[in-house]
Amino acid sequence: MTSPAATGDREKVVSKLPGWLRQNLKVRAAQHGIEIQTAVEQGISAWIDLASAREPIDTAGADSFATFLPEGQWETFRAVASDRRVSLIQGLAQSVQLWLDTTPAPDIERPTITRRIVVCNQKGGVGKTAITAGLGEALAEDSNTLHPVRVAKALTAALRASATHTSEEGPDQNPLEIESLPGPGLRVLLVDFDPQCHLTNQLGGTPLPMDGDSLTNHMAGDPKGDLRDLIVSVDDDTFDGRLHLLPACHDAFLLDVRLSAVRAREAALERALTPLESDYDVIIVDCPPSLGLSMDAAAYYGRRRDGERPGQSGALIVVQAEDSSADAYDLLTHQIEDLRNDLALDLDYLGIVVNLYDGRRGYIATSSLQGWVDIKDPRVVGLVSDLKEQKEAVRMKQPLLSYAPTSQQAISMRALAREIS
């Protein structure tokens, strides 16, 4: 049937579609960045132009489906369906399936040079590990599934609102800022570079034994095997083999001492990880709270390489909305600037993530957030609230985005992933 309701030169059409077909349509339209009504219009137009009807579609369980079509298209469609002796529901299902068949899912956009993201801050407790994990999970999510995402254009407004917001819900609760988008579907390696092994433990992994092989051994030039053999897959049910973890070992406490005897020690992490890069689109390094040689090596690994676009790799700085984070930030940026100057590095700042934000803390939190926003370069690229789901996921030793995929923190992690892409 056709409703008198209209938008522009379109008229509202109400029919029925099977749930599975409607979901496939919704995902494919989102993958191509077009509206569902446009996809249906194209499918109906192509179906009308066919010489005859296609193979029947199973429409059992079809329920109400509404869209807007150009004026007159539905009447033409009804006439063609009548000539072909198929029901309107069957004809619509065939039209949608025809569009799906002729509009395949786009290829995953993979970087030509493996992206290297160094998550850092020499202050402990700011949540570097949570951001490392959440960012990696968001980048590895299924490209054939829709996930709730805070749209990038809303970030500035959210930051502005947060700086003056003190309610318990916070700006994250605004449903107008959320849309459903396909996952990036990238191959991601998370590197636990912290001897405390927080990332390894949070994702349910096991720290590497002290008497075995480790990333530290490879950086120190004393490998005991292939580094690939140490890598484990994370939650294949959710990430389908796209998300991997290189676990940490407590021997990393000795890394600075061992690096002091290594030639070109600033390149030690790069020498260790370069053989792995062909397997991944993105490598994310969870750095220790340190300004020692290990941080030098991490920063060097994140430098921009020949032929790489600015902003693809670099340092992602995690802070909190309080004064001690600002002090630590100054120390870290001084170290990075020294490396830039001493080694002539093109090391990009990917941005600042304000983590564990809670506007209920009042002026200390809101004024500190405003201070981060005022920096401009690097700019704030993420705001993650202090909510219970992340803590629960850590307790359960599960990835946040599989434990609580629709939580506000998960939505914020996806927004961060897109903001720095």
Please work out, in degrees rounded to the nearest 5, the angle formed at the alpha carbon of residue 306 by the alpha carbons of 296 and 128. Answer: 35
Confidence of residue 290 (pLDDT cuts 50, 70, 90): confident
Mean pLDDT score, 48-63: 93
What's the pTM? 0.90
pLDDT at position 167, please?
Answer: 44
Q: Answer whether residue 318 shows pLDDT above 50.
A: yes
Q: What is the mean pLDDT of the chain?
A: 90
pLDDT at position 2, please?
Answer: 47
pLDDT at position 159, please?
Answer: 62
Lowest mean per-residue pLDDT among 132-141, 167-176, 190-199, 250-259: 167-176
CB atoms within 10 A of CB 281: 21
pLDDT digit string (tens) for 293-313?
A: 999 999 999 999 999 999 999
E-strand spans in 138-288? 146-150, 178-182, 188-192, 232-233, 243-246, 282-286
Maximum pairwise Cα distance, the chain: 83
pLDDT at position 230, please?
Answer: 98
pLDDT at position 173, please?
Answer: 47
Confidence of residue 25 (pLDDT cuts 50, 70, 90): very high
Handedness of CA 221, 222, 228, 234 (dihedral sign): negative
pLDDT digit string (tens) for 131-177?
A: 999 999 999 999 999 999 976 555 655 565 655 554 444 444 444 47
- For domain 115-419, give the fold: Rossmann fold (3.40.50)
Report yes or no: 99 and 91 within 8 Å, Cβ to Cβ.
no
pLDDT at position 360, please?
Answer: 81
Report yes or no: 305 and 120 within 8 Å, Cβ to Cβ.
no
Give the span between the Cα atoms of 241 and 281, in whole angstroms: 13
pLDDT at position 7, please?
Answer: 52
Report yes or no: 193 and 286 within 8 Å, Cβ to Cβ.
yes
